[in-house]
Every structure is written in structure tokens, then in C-alpha cells.
Amino acid sequence: MNQLVAVGLLGERQRRVARADRILSRLTGRIPRVSLEERRGVRVRGGDMLLLASGEYGDVDLSGLANSGFVTIAAAPGARPHFTSLDLSRASHFVLRGITVTAGRAPPERRQLVSVYAPGEARADNIVLDDLDIGSTLAIAATPQNAFVARAPDGIVLAGDCLTLTGAEVHDAMTAVEIYRARQVLIADNTFRDFAIDGIQYSGRSIVICDNIVIDQWPTSSLLHPDCMQGTGSDEAAFGPVLITGNVCIRSIGLRAARPGGHVYDGGWQGIVIFDGHWSGVMVRCNLVLPAAGHGIALYGVDDALIEGNVVLGLNGGPASWIAALPAKNGRQSTNVVIRKNQAMAFLNAVKSAQAPFETMIDALGVNREDSEILAMLRGELSGVSVAEGNVWQTAQVARPPLGFDERFEWTTGVQSKIPRDVPEARQIHPLPEACKVKTDAG
């Protein structure tokens, strides 16, 4: 594969950054200049397909190659070619399908096995990754924590425009997928399993994350808090819209819990969260979230958001998990947020306009009284959020708790969220609301 690139047979144009300019960019932070050069003698052009036989292809470098139409590089029928890494930084118009990308370590100077990233003007664009198997050859279940953190790579980073990841399995990685300040991204029908930190980190504009399975996070010695999906960013630039729908987040399924070291609650694992940045146009709809921490769905300082039709339950024996829309860490209030038709073990925004005393509400919500940040938020202003109709408060108590007369909620008592053996069982015992079975234009 690399020989085709080296002799100029693959890639119509080459995006280049001079070495001196790259070094200067690192020193000054200035965006590097990019040149675009025609490649003579090209044989594989836009619209062509290159089929690969099974075999070892090593580190495959397609960085900087740009085509006028999609070039498809795919496994031949019955084949499964193997790469040890894949670099699509600054690349344009490629489809990669049916390929395995696994190695013990990431390549030098990079954390990810698959990279679709480069700073500067020549962002990657129009990249489709389908039916890939991406992961470390270090099994997280069988590797000591410190050794895994020291050696294991991240799975994939996506930074660019018009990027798609579908039908992939990403496993045995630190973070499975990072979407970094990208635009027009689709992450759909993937499985992310056996990872150490986050299933999906995301930032950017026009992002759709739908119908993915994110399961089996393992505790490590990393100091970063683990999440199913975490939105990141800063207040310098607004991100969004983002649609997160139809996903399954389970910290530990029964099969993982039965394996050596498969403890369910050690280290905690949060659900679908946005703690940082300024986000607008956030829709979190029809997701099944079974974390091992209080934050099941938590959005901080977001504008124009809808949290609807989700099921959020802490696993049996673990902490209660809640839904919340709270102010940003700098105090900026959320605006125009609607929470409706969800099922959860608690709704933090219920503390406002509640008939029960504040201290009673805190106990009922299951908030850690040593968490001064959460307590300060709940005591302070909580504006811009509507707790609307159809939310169901699910409690393990047999009798309705003292705040059970709150007419803003329906109540289900005696709920026990057992550890599901697998995803189908989880969906069976924790079905989503009927409305989630009807696809809308937005989801």
C-alpha cells in the first residue's frame, strides 16, 4: 500500500507542509502553510476501488493525499487485511472498509491507531470509515493497570469535515473515539468496548452520535474521570448542534463482570455528559444509560437543549444515577432546556419549585453531601430549565418517598436495576418509551 503512495500511483494531489514551517508552527502556535501539488502518473483516482487481500500491510500512511472523488480501499471478498496503524491526516475523499487496525502501541509521536487529524488549513475532509476493527493487542482485561496506561493507544481521532465512522468495533484502548473540533460528523452503529477512559469524546459542530453500543469500561490508574460520552470545549467558541440518540451505555455487562478483575463499581463511570465549553442545540434522546456514578445525563451551561425519552438507572448495588441540566462551571446559566418523558432514579432540577424542604430533597436525590460543587449549584440559581411532562421517577424504595407527592413526576417504586448479561437483555428489562420507536426527522 505504501509503495503505491511512494511511487505516485495513489492520490491525485498532495497536501504538503514544509518541515521548517511545521517546526515554526509548533513553536509559535501559528497555523502552518499548506501547499497543494498535482501528482503525475496517478493510476488510482476518484471513483476507483482498490481491493486488498488478507495479509500484513504495516503502518499505512495516506496523510495529505487528496482526491476529486472517493477512492475506496476495501477488503476483497472473504479477506481481512491488517494494518498496524492508519494515518489519514489532511487526506480527502477516501473510504476505508473491512480492515483490521491493531497493534501493541500507537506509532511514534501519535497516541491513536487511526488518525484523521492535522492542525492548520488543510483539515481532513470526506473520510468514510466502515466495518473497521480497531484496538490494541494488549487485552485490558489481562494487563496490569499501570502497564496498560503506559503502553495502550487511543483508538481513533477524528478532526476535519464530513467524517463518518460506521459499523466499527473499537476495543482495548485508552479512549475509544475522540471527535476533536470537527464538523459534519456521523458516528453510527458502532461498538466501543473494553476501554479505560471515555467511549466517545466529542467537540465541534453538526455532530450525530446514534445507535452505538458503549460497554465495559475498565478501571485503570489514569487520573482522568471516565465517561460513556463526554462533550468538551471552552467558552472561546460555541459548539453544536449535536444529536445523541439511540445509544446504549452500560458500565459493565454481566459477562464482563464475571471475568477476572471485572468489578462493576470500582472507579465510577459517568453517562452522557457535557461539563465544559459553550454548547447550543443539544438533543439527547432515547438512550439507555446504566452508569456507575451519579451523573447519568448531565449538561452544564447548554443552550437550546432537549433531554427526552432516555432511561437512566444506576446498576443494582451502585449509586443512584440522575438527569440534570445545571449551570456552567463559570456560573453561566443554561437556557431553553427541556427535560421530558424520561425515566431516571433522580432529577436534580426537581430541587427547584419542590414542596419538600431542600435537605429532604438532597437526601431523596442521592447527592453526595461532600460534593460541594453540586450542592452549591443546587442551592443557587437554576434558571432556563423546564422539567416538563411525562418524567418517571424510579426508586428502589417499596413505598413512595416523602417527596412522592410532587405532581411534576410519575412514580415507579421497587425498581431494581440488575446487571444485564448482555445488551439484548438490557434492552429487554429496561425498554425505552414507546415514543422512541417512532423515528423523527431529527432522530
pLDDT digits (tens, 9 = 90+) for 45-99: 889 999 999 999 999 999 999 999 999 999 999 999 999 999 999 999 999 999 9
Residue 442's pLDDT is: 42
- Is pLDDT above 50 for 420? yes
How far does CA 304 lie from the centroid of its chain? Answer: 21
State the burial class of residue 254 (Cβ atoms within 10 Å of its Cβ: 0-12, 13-18, 19+).
middle
Confidence grade of residue 263 (pLDDT, cut at 50, 70, 90): very low
Q: Identify the pLDDT of residue 183.
A: 95
pLDDT band at 380 (very low <50, low <70, confident <90, very high): confident
Q: CA angle 369-294-197, nearest 5°?
A: 120
pLDDT above 90: residue 355: no
The pLDDT, as a whole number, for residue 326 is 94
**pLDDT surpassing 90 at residue 222:** no
Confidence category of residue 432, pLDDT binned at 50, 70, 90: very high
**C-alpha–C-alpha distance, residues 311 and 394, integer Å:** 10
Task: Name residues whose C-beta falls within 8 Å of residue 179's C-beta, 6 or more positions apart in sequence.
Answer: 158, 159, 163, 185, 187, 200, 201, 202, 203, 204, 207
Report the share of the chain in percent with pLDDT over 70: 85
Q: Please give the mean pLDDT across all residues of the chain.
A: 86
- Per-residue pLDDT tens over the stretch 151-162: 899 999 999 999
Q: What are phi and psi of 258, to 5 degrees?
A: -80, -15
pLDDT at 364: 77
Nearest CA among 75, 148, 163 for reference residue 116:
163
Q: Which of 36, 37, 33, 14 is nearest to 24 (CA)?
A: 33
CA distances for 88 relative to 9, 22, 75, angstroms:
17, 17, 18
Q: How far is CA 323 from CA 294, 319, 326, 405, in A?
A: 9, 13, 10, 19
Binning pLDDT at 50, 70 and 90, where does residue 310 land?
very high
Query: What are the cell numbers at 114?
Result: 487511526
**Residue 236: which pLDDT band, with cuts at 50, 70 and 90?**
confident
Q: What is the pTM of this model?
A: 0.91
Query: Looking at residues 397-419, what average pLDDT do you find?
Result: 68
Query: Which grid cell sits at 376?
Result: 452549591
Fold of 87-437: Pectate Lyase C-like (2.160.20)
Averaged over 291-298, what is the pLDDT?
Answer: 91
Q: Where are the alpha helices (DSSP H) in 7-58?
A: 19-28
Does the pLDDT at position 134 exceed 90? yes
Residue with the bigger pLDDT between 285 and 38: it is 285
Question: Is 209 in contact with 187 (CB distance < 8 Å)?
Answer: yes
- Burial class of residue 234 (count of CB atoms within 10 Å of its CB; 0-12, 13-18, 19+): exposed
Q: pLDDT band for position 27 (50/70/90)?
A: low
Domain spans, the chain: 87-437
Phi, psi (degrees; rounded to nearest 5) at 39: -110, 115
**CB contact at 8 A, 166 and 130:** yes
CB atoms within 10 A of CB 371: 12
pLDDT of residue 32: 64
Which pLDDT does position 401 carry in this prediction? 59
Residue bearing the bigger pLDDT, 3 or 155: 155
- Residue 405 grid coordinates: 407527592
Cell of 395: 426508586
User: Residue 142: its pLDDT value, please?
Assistant: 85
Rounded distance, CA 153 to CA 56, Å?
20
The answer on pLDDT for 245 being more than 80 is yes
Residue 376, helix vs strand vs coil: helix
- The predicted pLDDT at position 233 comes to 87
User: Residues, the chain, total?
Assistant: 443
Summarised one tens digit per residue, pLDDT across range 148-194 is 888 899 999 999 999 999 999 999 999 999 999 999 999 999 999 99
Instruction: Output the pLDDT for position 168.
Output: 98
**Per-residue pLDDT, 407:** 73
> How would you write 198-256 as a 3-class SS string?
EEEEEEEEEEEEECCEEEEECCCCCCCCCEEEEECCCCCCEECCEEEECCEEECCCHHH
**How many CB atoms are closer than 10 A to CB 219?**
17
Burial profile 302-340: b = 16 or more Cβ within 10 angstroms, e = fewer: bbbbbbbbbbbbbbeebbbbbbbbbbbeeeebbeebbbe
pLDDT of residue 44: 85
